[in-house]
Amino acid sequence: MDLQINDLKISYHAKNILHELGFTMVSDLEGQNYISLIQKFPFKLHHIYSIIQELNDAGYLLPPDNAVSIYDVSMSKRLFHILERNYFLYLSQLTLCSKEELASLRNLGEQTMIELEELCQAYHIELHSVQSIKESLAQYHLPFTSRHYETLYKYNLASIDDFNKITTHDLHIICQQYYYDTMKAYYILKDNGVVFQEWEDQYLFELLSGKIAQKISRKYRIDTIAELRSCSEEYIESMPSAILSSVKAMLVEYQK
């Protein structure tokens, strides 16, 4: 008889994360490993990292094929503690981060970074830079900083065409949930032929002019259709006429 996730002897936190990822039965975890989970749910990376150690200790999550554990490799204590503290239990996990992100790990330092690169070379693990992504997207003048490019690297978005794989909500996460940057990036990407995947909601800038959407976001803290539809009719009617006419027309069109 197949066990449910709730039957596992793991923390309430880990059970909640697994449920959020869509796992309800223990059999759902069969064939999964840390790498496959991270690749399957790139926008929930922090959730997966938070339960890796617990699932590893409990024996509920298999390591990747041919994985090399940090516990089986000779390295300095400094590097070992840095990797363990950041949930890098297998060397293959390092490929999910750029060289720049790895170099920024707390207490790593230049010499320890050199040790890490030499260790990866010895085990035929290739580390890459975000520079190629920056060069690929430079012509589009997206509102991205180094932090954004690190996120693009992690989610395997290396070219303009790769944005066709994500939703506008994913884009909002990439933009650190900063509405104006999300809106600006959205218009640039749309103008360059990107067609976003559908999700259960829509941002107002997808349906209204950017100027009106930004005004509504700033003044009323309303960013999506769902948030707008949850407002009372009286609240919507209180909006300025310049905004109200567009909002009403959008709501009528959306309900068709």
Interval 62-120: pLDDT, tens = 666 678 889 999 999 999 999 988 878 889 889 888 999 999 998 899 999 999 999 99
* Number of neighbouring beta carbons within 10 Å of residue 129: 13
Rounded Cα distance, 166 and 160, in Å? 11
Instruction: Enumerate the β-bridge partners of residue 4.
Output: 25
Of the candidates 220, 187, 188, which has an alpha carbon nearest to the alpha carbon of residue 206?
187
Rounded Cα distance, 11 and 61, in Å? 15
Q: Is the pLDDT of residue 256 over 60?
A: no
Confidence of residue 1 (pLDDT cuts 50, 70, 90): low
CA distances 31 to 10, 53, 64, 151, Å, are 19, 18, 9, 26
Q: Which amino acid would we find at residue 111?
A: Q
Q: pLDDT tens digits, residue range 210-253?
A: 999 999 999 999 999 999 989 888 998 999 988 888 888 888 87
Rounded Cα distance, 86 and 229, in Å? 41
The three-point CA angle 138-144-145 to 5° equals 105
241: tokens are: 């006429």
Per the document, the length of the chain is 256
